Copies of this chain bind each other. A is one copy, B any other.
Amino acid sequence: MKTATLRRFQLVADGVTVTEVSEIEAISQPAVSRAMRRLELEVGTPLLRREGRVLPLMHAGSAFKAHVDAVLHHLDDGIAAVQQILDPEQSTVTISFQPSFGTWLVPDLVSSFHAEHPQIRLDLRTKSDETMPEVGPRSDVDVELATCDHVKAPNILSGGS
């Protein structure tokens, strides 16, 4: 089981389409589709309902999803902690966005930003997976993509992460 597969599952489970995930992760659409199949094989049961274009979670899927959120948060925190030790200057930017934004905004945003600043880690978290009750000091969000009437002030300038 690869952590990249869990990342893709997380996005798909949040309502992002397989095609959009493929754009975000800069891989082909079939790769994402097969990754979901593989994950279901490894877990031992179907997780997603194949009912057309959107892949809603099945019972087992939503149960698994909550844990996957926690897994990836801890993993990102772990990597960020190591980065911090290696080079205190190099920070990880955590971006929180609503699944609806992921649809059209995030893919371009990520790829263009990563093209210009390849050394900055981008830590994507969909708004819906706020399942983590503050796991550690490094689990704060730096940038949040929201609609205009509830914008939060980003703490990226104060060296938030």
Q: Determine if A59 and B85 form an interchain contact, defined as CB atoms under 8 angstroms apart.
A: yes
Counted per complex, copies of this chain come to 2
Contacts of A90-131 to chain B: CB distance below 8 A:
none
| Size band of the interface chain A makes with B | 20 to 34
| Neighbour of A74 across the interface among B2, B45, B63, B74, CB < 8 A | B74
| Neighbour of A86 across the interface among B60, B66, B78, B79, CB < 8 A | B60
**With A3-B1, A4-B1 known to touch, is A78 a contact of B71 (CB < 8 Å)?**
yes
Closest to A58 in B: B85
Residues of A contacting B: mostly? helix
**A63 CA to B77 CA, complexed, in Å:** 10
Contacts of A71 in B (CB 8 A): 71, 74-75, 78
Q: Determine if A79 and B3 form an interchain contact, defined as CB atoms under 8 angstroms apart.
A: no
Q: Determine if A82 and B2 form an interchain contact, defined as CB atoms under 8 angstroms apart.
A: no
Contacts of A34-88 to chain B: CB distance below 8 A:
43-45, 59-60, 63-64, 66-68, 70-71, 74-75, 77-79, 81-83, 85-86
10 smallest CB-CB distances across A and B, nearest first, come from A67-B78, A70-B74, A71-B74, A1-B3, A63-B81, A60-B82, A60-B85, A71-B75, A64-B78, A67-B74
Q: Give A residues with C-beta under 8 Å from B.
A: 1-4, 43-45, 59-60, 63-64, 66-68, 70-71, 74-75, 77-79, 81-83, 85-86, 135
11 A-B pairs besides A1-B3, A2-B2, A44-B82 with CB distance below 8 A are A1-B2, A3-B3, A44-B86, A45-B82, A63-B85, A64-B81, A66-B78, A70-B135, A71-B71, A71-B74, A71-B78
